[in-house]
Structure 1
């Protein structure tokens, strides 16, 4: 992690990992999955002395998006997401926010396609489309920093659940192999819930391989 300062907050009713990626040189910051509690997100930004420039979404479920609009408005920054997640993000019934007090309909500013590479906050980032948990689930790979943000696709020793609308057990297994077959074993993996892992560990011990 040459230029990357990485921290997280655990937010919301199902303990979602919201990640903060700060460029040590420029101070610019990326926020991944602003799950809930925008005031806590603002506190973390201030603690890290960062300047948010982008929001990246791994998928559109309620527990990853509730604070998106508040954070976007606070910092006037764009939202990035996988193109296949457009409907999920837009429709409160599909993203399940309609079951809570904060019904959300989100229209990202930038739609990304599989293996697109883009730059923000001084980092080169590749999106990897990994359907299975949802149709438009994706991961973000920072090759130069050796890190992958896997959302709810890959967990330590497991994968995301596939019983929600748009989920597919066969798709998520294919997505798991897509990650494990293409990324270096030393890559650090930061999932949407629970603890971090590595590609090498998952190759050896993930029962879904």
Structure 2
């Protein structure tokens, strides 16, 4: 399985990152290059969508305390490394209720004939729209984002995390998530995208589950699924 540690992301227009109070580290994992993110604040870390090789992600974050692991949705290419990461670090695991069963049987529901490390563990916390998760001084508000899967969620940064959002496979640079995979619903996805276009501030850096990061402003101008 491929593993790239890309280190800290250059997001210098995010105030807390520019001030050295927040760090976002990126890892690329697996056969279809899933982006895994480590959010570091005050010596603690939250890991978003550990797709696989949780033990290697843990080693790459050995200089901080990994306190929380979160999933934007339950597909295997986003939760395959959760169990190993939780086992190594003792972190808590959180995701939305509607995707728990999908994640619980992630390997059975995988696509493209790819083998993944493990199914996701049972969550220690169930997340719903309006909830908040935090690590150090960084806070994230949970936004419901069904469509790619029933329990898809977005983590919108607030406080020291203002200016970034983790969107999983709901939005891609210039595109949007597939709906022909387990749990997909095209009409729900379009409704989600319309709402996120209003809820996510234009200057926000959108950190996607695959491919390049982007900004909501660029997507609203150019993405055919989001263009106003």
Q: Same fold (TM over 0.5)?
A: yes
Is the alpha carbon distance of 1:99 and 1:17 closer, same or farther for their aligned partners in structure 2, counting shifts above 3 Å? Answer: closer
Asked if the contact 1:30–1:121 (Cα under 8 Å) also holds between the matched residues in 2, the reply is no
The one-character-per-residue Cα deviations of 1:15-38 (angstroms, maximum 9, x if unpaired) are 000001101xx2101111111122
Of the candidates 23, 36, 59, which is equivalent to residue 73 of structure 2? 59
**Residue 10 (1) aligns with residue 25 (2):** no
Asked if the contact 1:129–1:137 (Cα under 8 Å) also holds between the matched residues in 2, the reply is yes
Q: Is 87-96 or 56-65 further displaced after alignment? A: 87-96
Q: Is 121-130 or 189-198 further displaced after alignment? A: 121-130
**Residue 50 (1) aligns with residue 64 (2):** yes
Report the CA distance between 1:176 and its aligned residue. 1.0
**Residue 129 (1) aligns with residue 144 (2):** yes
Is the alpha carbon distance of 1:95 and 1:121 closer, same or farther for their aligned partners in structure 2, counting shifts above 3 Å? Answer: farther
SS in 2 for 1:195: coil
Report the TM-score when normalising by structure 2: 0.84
**Residue 85 (1) aligns with residue 95 (2):** no
Which is richer in helix?
1
Other-structure match for 1:193: 210
**Residue 176 (1) aligns with residue 213 (2):** no
Tell me the distance in 1 between the aligned counterparts of 2:109 and 2:167.
Answer: 18
Tell me the distance in 1 between the aligned counterparts of 2:128 and 2:170.
Answer: 17
Asked if the contact 1:94–1:165 (Cα under 8 Å) also holds between the matched residues in 2, the reply is no
Asked if the contact 1:31–1:56 (Cα under 8 Å) also holds between the matched residues in 2, the reply is yes
Of the candidates 85, 96, 100, which is equivalent to residue 110 of structure 2? 96
Other-structure match for 1:35: 51
Tell me the distance in 1 between the aligned counterparts of 2:131 and 2:124.
Answer: 15
Other-structure match for 2:155: 140
Question: Once superposed, what is the RMSD of the aligned Cα atoms?
Answer: 1.8
Tell me the distance in 1 between the aligned counterparts of 2:118 and 2:138.
Answer: 32
Asked if the contact 1:61–1:88 (Cα under 8 Å) also holds between the matched residues in 2, the reply is yes
Asked if the contact 1:83–1:136 (Cα under 8 Å) also holds between the matched residues in 2, the reply is yes
Other-structure match for 2:224: 207
Asked if the contact 1:16–1:63 (Cα under 8 Å) also holds between the matched residues in 2, the reply is yes
State how many pairs are aligned.
205
